[in-house]
Amino acid sequence: MISFDLEGGRFNYRIVGVALSKNRVLIHQELGEEFWTLPGGRCEILENARETLARETVEELGVESEVGDLLWIVENYFKREGKRWHELALYFSISFPEGHEIHDRSGPFKGVEEGTDLTFQWVPREELSEWNLVPEFLKDRLTNLPTVTEHLVWTDSKERVIRRDV
């Protein structure tokens, strides 16, 4: 996993999937956490981002996904576990096979990755503001996905759009 500590903080390279079905977004939460986020994970060394996301959906959900367009390149700065984090995240649209049972799930359902208990939930896009979803920019951005890739900088609840059509 490309994630390591340096003096002053932790660097994390994360690949994220934006899954939509029936005007709902798939989010997940690790057992014991207070916040929710989009599914994905850390890239392995010499693994490209699309491979990472495809691997992570199989590991976490037991279903293969098709990785689509790159929506956002996000420089995310936040505090967690008493540390400052510098995260570089690539957000891709993903889809699951037509007719797969995952589209019909309602209510929370379980997933597991390397012994970590995960809870998944499909949330209607218009209800995202009611969830503790991080990074917070997602609550707004997931209701109106970009038509071109955007580069965002997100620092402690402040967003800056650096460039569109990267």
Place of tokens 């709902």: 24
pLDDT in tens, 92-140: 999 999 989 999 998 999 987 777 889 999 999 999 999 999 999 999 9
pLDDT in tens, 36-89: 999 999 999 999 999 999 999 999 999 999 999 999 999 999 887 788 889 999
What's the CATH number where 28 sits? 3.90.79.10
Residue length of the chain: 166
The tokens of 50 are what?
């699309």
Classify residue 102: in a domain, yes or no: no
pTM, 2 dp: 0.90
Classify residue 11: in a domain, yes or no: yes
Residues of the chain with pLDDT > 70: what percent? 94
**Structural domain range at position 55:** 3-97+108-164
